[in-house]
Amino acid sequence: MTDAVPALSLAGVNVAYDGYRALADVSLNVAAGEAFGLVGESGSGKSTLLRAIAGLAPVTAGTLRVEGETLTGQRRGRAFHARVQMVFQDPYGSLHPRHTIDRQLLEPLAIHGVDATSPRILRALDEVGLGAGFRFRYPHQLSGGQRQRVAIARALILEPAILLLDEPTSALDASVQAEVLNLLEQVRAERGLTYVLVSHDLGVVTHMCDRLAVMHGGRIVEELPADDLVAGRIGTDYTRKLMVASAGFRRGSDGHGHADE
């Protein structure tokens, strides 16, 4: 694509859980500063791909590179964690239920030996639109949207360059989703972050991303610019079927059919 080193580069990556092949020969390049989307239905391997990059899934073959550096095995060095962070789908499960927000944000700083934690925590809370008043609350005292903001603050507090977003808004109400998506866009614009966004929602992906890959059965079916998808310049039947399905229900079609029914 470009001669610049891609932020993220995957070649022939395979992931297997107990013999089940969750990812099959996935190759992918994400340029620095790009917002890249991964779309697919459940079991398509889109979340597994993110977890493989993060070192949370067993990679059995292939190479992964972050900013040109090859990652080996499931171990990731400290430098990796400072550069790549992740936001999880379920805001109710991704925050430790017995730690205050303060402690959730303090932990990454403590692990990486950062001093002057207090101002950084306050700045991080401020950046995601939560005031200092939230600092000493527990997750159960927060709404889903507020929890997801905390999760984003936690991911950003180490100032990474790449953010992996695993269905960051699918557990949220539509109006809250809009707020969180706006926040993510704003943060990206301010910091020039690279995003890899996983979602089942074509609306969210085309809204957030420049390019996207459609996944099915552990493979990448098609890779295309978001504008092409919107304009209907689609190469495969599977992508077309997804596009039709996400347009909503039509009386008379029984779901098997295509747009021309």
Partner 1 sequence: MSEAGIGSGQGTRAWLLSEYPASRMQARLGRAYATWLRFAANRLAVVGLAILIALVLVATFAGVLAPHSPYAGDLAGARLLPPLSPGHLLGTDDQGRDILSRLIYGSRLTLAVVLMVAVLTAPVGLLVGTVAGYAGGIIDTALMRVTDIFLAFPKLVLALALVAALGPGIENAVIAIAITSWPPYARMARAETLAVRHADYIDAIRLMGASPLRIVLRHVMPMCLSSLIVRVTLDMAGIILIAAGLGFLGLGAQPPAPEWGAMIASGRRFILDQWWVATMPGMAILIVSLGFNLVGDGLRDALDPREAER
Partner 2 sequence: MTPMLTVEDLAISFATRTGRFEAVRGVSFTLGRERLGIVGESGSGKSLTGRAIMGLTPPSADVTARRLAFDGIDLLTAPPAQRRALRGARLSMVLQDPKYSLDPVMSIGRQIVETLRTHERVSRREARERALDMLAAVQIENPARVFDLYPHEVSGGMGQRAMIAMMLIANPELLIADEPTSALDVTVQLEVLGILDRLVTDRGMGLIFISHDLRLVSSFCDRVLVMYAGRVVEEIAAAELAHARHPYTRGLLACVPVPGHDRHPLPVLDRRPEWRL
Which residues of the shown chain bind partner 1 in the complex (CB under 8 A)? 54-56, 76-78, 80-82, 84-86, 88-90, 93-100, 102, 107-108, 111-112, 133-134, 136-138, 140-141, 151, 154, 158
Assign 3-class secondary structure to the chain: CCCCCCCEEEEEEEEEECCEEEEEEEEEEECCCCEEEEEECCCCCHHHHHHHHHCCCCEEEEEEEECCEEECCCCCCHHHHHHEEEECCCCCCCCCCCCCHHHHHHHHHHHCCCCCHHHHHHHHHHHCCCCHHHCCCCHHHCCHHHHHHHHHHHHHCCCCCEEEEECCCCCCCHHHHHHHHHHHHHHHHHHCCEEEEEECCHHHHHHHCCEEEEEECCEEEEEEEHHHHHHCCCCCHHHHHHHHHHCCCCCCCCCCCCCCC
According to the binding rule CB under 8 A, does residue 230 interact with partner 2? Answer: yes
Choose the stretch contacting partner 2; rule: CB under 8 A; options: 24-32, 49-57, 129-137, 238-246.
238-246
CB of 54 to partner 2, least distance (A): 24
Residue 223 near residue 211, CB atoms below 8 Å: yes
Interface residues for partner 2 in 101-120 (CB under 8 A)?
Answer: none
133: partner contacted, choices partner 2, partner 1, none (Cβ within 5-8 A by kind): partner 1
251: partner contacted, choices partner 2, partner 1, none (Cβ within 5-8 A by kind): partner 2
Name which of 67 and 228 has its Cβ closer to partner 2.
Answer: 228
Interface residues for partner 2 in 118-157 (CB under 8 A)?
Answer: 144
From candidates 25, 90, 185, 210, binder to partner 2 by CB under 8 A: 185
Choose the stretch contacting partner 2; rule: CB under 8 A; options: 3-11, 22-30, 153-161, 197-205.
197-205
According to the binding rule CB under 8 A, does residue 200 interact with partner 2? Answer: yes
Contact positions vs partner 2 (CB under 8 A) = 41-42, 144, 173-179, 181-182, 185-186, 200-204, 206-208, 229-230, 241-243, 245-246, 248-251, 253-256
